[in-house]
Amino acid sequence: MRIGNKAKKMTIGICACIFIAAGMGRAGISEAYGANSSVIENVSVSVTGSYGEAEEILEPEITVSGTDCYRGDYQYGTEIDRWRPGKKVRIDITVEAGEGKVFPISLNSSQCKVTGASFVSARALGDTKLQVKVDYMPVTVLGGTTWAGWDKTERKKATWMNSLIYKRLCLYIDIL
């Protein structure tokens, strides 16, 4: 009978250890889940072009949305006075996390949705800042053009001729 009591005590001890381990494991899971909820995993960036006067290129409006994050500084890769319609401009946008929130090391294009521009990358700058790089195509209203149309080789590419360039070309041909 003594052997039976030892077996019972050992079985009870093993069961107690299993329950304690299971409880500790569960506590660890809930702590890990709580830590994940402070990570910002989805961000949306919108780059909206504006139209001004003829041949005027305006800065786009940049907005950021997501849970507990907001737009910080942004920087253009090219000076605004050098922008040309249809030529890509790289924009570096800093997204800042709210209090108690952090960003992962990087986000891919499905986690960082970009509208109005092309997604390039999204990488963390420390824990509370995310640098989103996008390529934006400036837009403008055509001014004094002699003709405008679609490129023969690239159907989505618009082409036009400025009236000043056309006049110079006509003058050059007339002189010959």
Exposed / middle / buried, residue 151 (Cβ in 10 Å: 0-12, 13-18, 19+)? exposed
In DSSP terms, 36 is beta-bridged to: none
* pLDDT (tens digit per residue) in 105-139: 999 999 999 999 999 999 999 999 999 999 999 98
- Euclidean distance between CA atoms 173 and 176, whole angstroms: 5
Looking at every residue in the chain, the average pLDDT score rounds to 80
Note whether 115 and 158 are within 8 A (CB). no
DSSP state of 40: -
- Euclidean distance between CA atoms 137 and 86, whole angstroms: 5
DSSP state of 109: T
pTM across the whole model: 0.67
